[in-house]
Structure 1
C-alpha cells in the first residue's frame, strides 16, 4: 500500500512542475510582444523622437548626477549649519549657566507714544555725558518790552503748571527773585506772586536770602523749581521768594522780579545762575546770550534777548561783532580803551561794565566832570546834568577792542518831565559814585551786545 501512495505523490509533483513551466513561457511571450509593439509605435513617430531619445538619456544621467552632487552639498551644508547651531546653543547655555552670558528678549513697543521736547533734550544730555560733547542745538529768543526808555522787561515762567512773571533781565546781578506768597509789602501786593503750593515741581530750600539795592534790601527765602524763559526750560533752578520789598522803587516798577545774568561770583549765596544751568543741562547749543534794545519812548518793540546764539542780524544787519575779553568775572567787565567827545579825548583806558539793569550811562567822577564842562550843562545834586533840548551835542566815541563805536550826540539827550510838568533834557551820562564806567540801556540801545560765557568775552555790534 505504501509503494502505491509514494508513486501517486510523485506523479502529482511532476504535473505541478510541468504546469508552472508552461505558464512562464506564456508570460515571456506576452512581455516580448508588448516590447515589440512599443518599439513599432516609436518607429512610427519618426526620426525626430528617436534623435531626441538618444541625448535624452545623457541629459537624464547628467541631471541625475547634478541632483546627486547638489544633494550631497545640501547635506553637507545642513550638517555644518546644524553643527554651528548646536555649538551656539551649547555656548549660550554654558554662558548663561556661568552667569556671564546673554539671552534673546523681545523689545516692547509703546502704542500712541508722543515724543516731547523734554525727551529730546534728555537724550541729548545723555549722549553729551557719554561722548564728552554737546549735541544740543537749542536756542531761545524772547522779546523785550520798552517802557519810556527806562525799563526793558521780558516774560518768565516758574513752576508746573506755569506761573507767569514780568522780569527785568539784569547783567549787573546774578540772582533770580520774584514776590513770594508771604510778602505783604505794597510792592508785592501790586505784582504777581509765586505760590509754591500750586507747583508740582517745587522743591523747598528755606535758606534766608538778602540782596541790597540803593533803595533798600530785598529779603526772602530760597526755593527751587523749573524756570522757563525764551521757550527754554531749566529744572531745579534756585531762586528767591521775597518777603520784604521796602521803598517805592519796586512799587512803581513794571516788573515783578529780577532775572540776574551776571557771573556766579557775585551771586548771593553762591547760587548757580540761570545761564550756567542752561549750559550744564545742555538746554542751549552755545553758552552765550545776546541783548539788543530799541528806542522809541513807550514803544512795545523793545528789542530781543537771545539765549544760545549771537544771531541778532535783524537788529544789526550783520553778524560782525567786535569782541573784547572780560577782565574780571563778576560783572561783565572789560577795558574801555578810550572815550572822545567830538575830536576831544576825554579819557584813556578805564574799566567798564555792561549793565542791562541800569537805564543810563555812568562815568567815573573825573570823566563825568570833563563831559559836563564840554556840554555846558547844569549838574544837579542827584548827579544829573540838565540842558536845553535844543542844545547841539558832539558825537561820543567809545574805543573797544581797537574799534570806534560812535554814539550820535543827539542820542545823549534824554527828555524827562519835571514835577512841575515841564519837559527838559538831561545827559544820558550821569555820576553814580563809581570809579568805572557803567554802560546801561542808553548804550545798549545803539550797540547789540553778546555775552560769551565759554570764551569769557563781550562782543559789540552797531544796531541798524
Structure 2
C-alpha cells in the first residue's frame, strides 16, 4: 500500500490543513551531515583516514536523521527498531481508511473512501502512521494495508491503539483525489542542473540561487535541509530575505561544526522559482577544499528534516507552489570527467536510460529514499543516497556479501573495514532493485589504490551503523539513471543510456 506525500505532510503537521501543532523543535536545529575530504592523491592512492572520516560522518548523518524523525513524528524510526527493537513490541499489519484532518493525538474524522489499484489515479493513502492517541473514525470503504512496521497495536507505524479501521489518526488507504494523477497540477515547468564531478567522484555539485545569489552545492538525497558557507549567500543583498529567528547547529564526523541563522528567501533552480524557501547560513566556512562546492542541499522527505517543520526542503516548496510540472527529480551521474552529469527537475527524461524505468514504491513517512534490494542475491534494505561517495552497510551484512566475491580481502587501517583486490580482477557485483539487475562496471568496482598497488573496493563495512540498511552512494548512481518521484512515492531505475 502506498501513501501520498500530501498525507505525510499532514501527519507531520505541515499540511495546508493543520488540525494540531507539533511540538516546536526549538530555536536551534541540530544537524549532523557528512563532510568530504580529499580521498585520492595525485597518483590515485586512497587516503584511508579521510575515507574513514567520511564514513563516520555518514553514520552521524543517518543517526541524526533518525533522531529528527523521532522528534518530528513522536515515533521511533522502523529502520532503527529493526536493529534495536523496543521490549514488548511487535509488528502488525492493519487495514483501514480515512484521510481526515490528521492530528497527532486528536480526532481524525477521516472520510477517505474508494478503492484504487495504485497511486496513479491520485490518492490520499495512509500507511497507518498514527501514534495511537487519535480516534480517526474514518468512515470510507477503501481497502488498505498498513505498512506493517508498527509497534504495539497500531496500524502500520503507529504505537498504541489504532486498529486499522480508521482509528488512530484516520490514516488509511482510501484513494481520493489529492493530486489528480499523482503529479503536481498547474503550469509548472522542468529543467536541468548540470553537475560538476568534484575531485575524482568525491561529490557532484550544481547551481542554485537564493535571493539572486548563485552558488554550487552538493545535492543530497539522504538529508532534507539546505546549508551554505557565508561567502555563498549574504541575506543583506536580497530584498526578499527574512530572518526566521531560528538557528541551526551542524556537527560533522570529522569534528568540525557549523552554526548560524535560518533565513527564507526567493529561490531559483534550473529556471524554476519558489518563494520563502529556507536556507541555513553558516557563520564560518564549514566546507573547504571541495573546489566549487559551497554547501549541501537535501532532497529527502520532511520527516527527517532538522529545520523547524514550517521550513520545508526546497523541492517540496517547488511542488507546493506548483513550480514543477511533476513532483519528480532525476539523477544521472557519470564517472570521471564526463560533462553529462545531470539533475533533472520537474519531469522524467527518458533519454537518459536504456529501456523503460523499473519502479519500486517508497514510504515517504520514513523520510529516506529506502527500498528492498539485494546484492549478489543477499537481501538488503537500501537507502539511495546521492550524498555518499561509495557504498556502505552494516558490518555483518557486508561480510556476508564479500564472501560471495572471490579474491577480495579485508583491510582495517581505521575503524571502518574496507576491502582490496588485485587490479587485474573485476569483482562480480550485481545490485538488484525494482526488478532491475545493476552489475557494477570496471570503474565502479574500484576507488583508488593502496600503496602496494592493489585496488580498493568501493564498499565499506561500518561497525556502528545506526540503522538496518545499506547506503547506495555515487558508485551505484554511476551505473543508473534514477527517478525520485515524490508525487507517487516511488523510485524508478534504468541502466544509463
Verify same fold: TM over 0.5.
yes
Instruction: Specify the SS of the correspondent of 1:279.
Output: helix
| Correspondences of 1:408-427 after superposition (within 5 Å) | 408=441, 411-416=444-449, 424-427=454-457
Instruction: Specify the SS of the correspondent of 2:282.
Output: strand
Name the structure 2 match of 1:381. Answer: 413
Which structure dedicates a bigger proportion of its chain to helix?
Answer: 1
Specify whether residues 306 and 233 from structure 1 end up closer, same or farther in structure 2 by C-alpha distance, changes over 3 A only. same
Q: Does structure 2 retain, via aligned residues, the 8 Å contact 1:316–1:448?
A: yes
| Correspondences of 1:402-413 after superposition (within 5 Å) | 402-408=435-441, 411-413=444-446
| Equivalent residue in structure 2 for 1:304, among 323, 342, 345 | 342
Name the structure 2 match of 1:448. Answer: 481
CA positional deviation for 1:449: 0.7
Q: Does structure 2 retain, via aligned residues, the 8 Å contact 1:335–1:351?
A: yes
Structure 2 residue 214 is the aligned partner of structure 1 residue 174: no
Q: Taking structure 1 as the reference length, what is the TM-score of the superposition?
A: 0.61
Specify whether residues 282 and 303 from structure 1 end up closer, same or farther in structure 2 by C-alpha distance, changes over 3 A only. same
Instruction: Specify the SS of the correspondent of 1:167.
Output: strand
Name the structure 2 match of 1:394. Answer: 427
| Correspondences of 1:306-345 after superposition (within 5 Å) | 306-313=344-351, 315-318=352-355, 320-327=356-363, 329-336=366-373, 338-340=374-376, 345=377
CA positional deviation for 1:222: 0.5
Q: Does structure 2 retain, via aligned residues, the 8 Å contact 1:368–1:430?
A: yes
- Separation in structure 1 between the aligned mates of residue 262 and residue 484 of structure 2, nearest angstrom: 26
Specify whether residues 377 and 448 from structure 1 end up closer, same or farther in structure 2 by C-alpha distance, changes over 3 A only. same
| Equivalent residue in structure 2 for 1:284, among 294, 299, 324 | 324
Name the structure 1 match of 2:400. Answer: 370
Name the structure 1 match of 2:19. Answer: none
Q: Taking structure 2 as the reference length, what is the TM-score of the superposition?
A: 0.57
Structure 2 gaps, min length 5: 1-178
Count of aligned residue pairs for this structure pair:
305
Instruction: Specify the SS of the correspondent of 1:363.
Output: strand
- Separation in structure 2 between the aligned mates of residue 449 and residue 220 of structure 1, nearest angstrom: 33
- Separation in structure 2 between the aligned mates of residue 397 and residue 228 of structure 1, nearest angstrom: 38
Larger Rg: 1
Does 1 or 2 have the higher relative contact order (CA < 8 Å, sep 6+)? 2
Structure 1 gaps, min length 5: 1-127, 181-191
Instruction: Specify the SS of the correspondent of 1:331.
Output: coil
- Separation in structure 1 between the aligned mates of residue 222 and residue 239 of structure 2, nearest angstrom: 31
- Separation in structure 2 between the aligned mates of residue 451 and residue 380 of structure 1, nearest angstrom: 35
Name the structure 2 match of 1:189. Answer: none
Instruction: Specify the SS of the correspondent of 1:212.
Output: strand
Structure 2 residue 240 is the aligned partner of structure 1 residue 209: no
Cα offsets for 1:170-204 (capped at 9, x unmatched) = 00110011123xxxxxxxxxxx3311111111112
- Separation in structure 2 between the aligned mates of residue 267 and residue 331 of structure 1, nearest angstrom: 10
- Separation in structure 2 between the aligned mates of residue 461 and residue 430 of structure 1, nearest angstrom: 25
- Separation in structure 1 between the aligned mates of residue 257 and residue 361 of structure 2, nearest angstrom: 32
- Separation in structure 2 between the aligned mates of residue 237 and residue 437 of structure 1, nearest angstrom: 31
